[in-house]
Amino acid sequence: MPDLDTVYRAALDGQWDSVIGLSEASWLDVKSSIYALDQAGPRAELCKHVAAMANAQGGLLMIGLRTELVDGREVVDGLKPVPQRLVDPGRHRKILMEQVRPPVRDLRVDWVACQEDSGVLVLYVPPQPTTDEPFVVPASDPKGREGVAVPVRSGDDTSWLKPAELQRLLALGWSSSAAAPGPSAAAGGDRTTAERLLRLAPQDAPWLKHLRNGGPFHRVPASVSDGVHEAAEALADEVLRFRDPDLAAATEKFTSAVHELSDVLGGLHAPLDGPLAYFEVPPEWKGRDPDRYYAALRENSRVAQAVLEAHGDWVNRLNGKGLLA
């Protein structure tokens, strides 16, 4: 059977013949309909399935495929693309980064177009360090008191870790912590990580200065757009991660915000004539379709503000830990 990374690459390339015929497994789960992220229940289900794959040492969740039951196993038997207008990859990633703890390292959320205005949402969970396990999601008891639960994969089924096993894991963790008192080596590793990430996204980066200056966002210089795309790619490919959970969460939030901004800027249009010095919301929309024009401006401003807020929180946390050079 093909492995996780082989199937992931095939999906990104739209090679669905390599996916159809595969059986669902601990690392492969497909859905025929989207998660309604405006509702608490579907949001929780999304987090449950991704956290379970993280606990199973990686997995692939693809939304937009159908299955059939063959000899007691769910087998992928074809495409069932979902409408692109109903899918927001950035929002999926944001919810997962906020709800699954610790944050899933190097999580990817990709849109793969299949037909006009429809496609498959591909969520890739790479194998996680065993030191990060278990991955947990929010849970509450019948009285509404908050807690956490641990989802796990068994074959093609996602279930909850039994209380006795959860207690055993917690006991092992607490025992390990008690056996090694004193300062952790994490501080030194986090300093190296901070230095590396600050080189990838320096505070004086021209694209960040453009955001702080308030744009403009109807027309973005090509140099700014290129800077955002390069930062998004560099942060997504970075393998170093903070051991401190607050720093890790803040970094994931900032990375997710930059990735969303890169997607938004990638949707701007090149000018119809003249040198390629900028990208813009088509000015003809202003007269022909003003609702679309101003909606685009609001979205550009919203995403830019989200990056600034995430960056500010990230920098403040680095400073609070004494890691800001």
For 109-144, write each residue's pLDDT tens digit. 999 999 889 999 999 999 988 778 889 998 876 666
pLDDT higher than 80, residue 269 = yes
Helix, strand, or coil here: 249?
A: helix
Domain-by-domain residue ranges, the chain?
4-162, 186-320
pLDDT above 90 (res 291): yes
In this predicted structure, what is the pLDDT of residue 142? 67
pLDDT beyond 60 at 176: no
Cβ-Cβ contacts under 8 Å for 174 (sequence gap 6 or more): none
Report, as an integer, the average pLDDT of 9-24.
Answer: 94
- State the fold for domain 4-162: 3.30.950
**Least reliable range by pLDDT among 26-30, 198-202, 242-246:** 242-246
**Is the distance from CB of 83 to CB of 118 less than 8 angstroms?**
yes
> Residues near 156 by Cβ (< 8 Å), separated by ≥ 6?
23, 24, 25, 26, 28, 29, 73, 74
Instruction: Please report, to the nearest 10 degrees, the dihedral formed by the alpha carbons of residues 140, 142, 145, 149 taken in order.
Output: -20
- For 182: left if phi > 0, alpha if psi spans -120 to 50, otherwise beta; the answer is left
Cβ atoms of 136 and 147 within 8 Å: the answer is no
Predicted model pTM: 0.58
Residues 6 or more apart whose CB falls under 8 angstroms from that of 272 comprise none
Closest CA to 110 of 92, 132, 85: 92
Query: Which whole number is the average pLDDT over 144-157?
Result: 82
Q: What span, in angstroms and rounded, lies between the C-alpha atoms of 293 and 284?
A: 9
Give the up-direction half-sphere exposure of residue 19: CA atoms within 13 A in the CB hemisphere.
Answer: 29
d(C-alpha 216, C-alpha 121), whole Å: 31
Residue 289's SS3 state is coil
Q: β-pairing, 59-63 with 28-31?
A: parallel
Q: What CA–CA distances, in Å, run from 318 to 100, 195, 204, 234, 323?
A: 22, 10, 16, 19, 5
Residue 194 tokens, joined? 């901070």
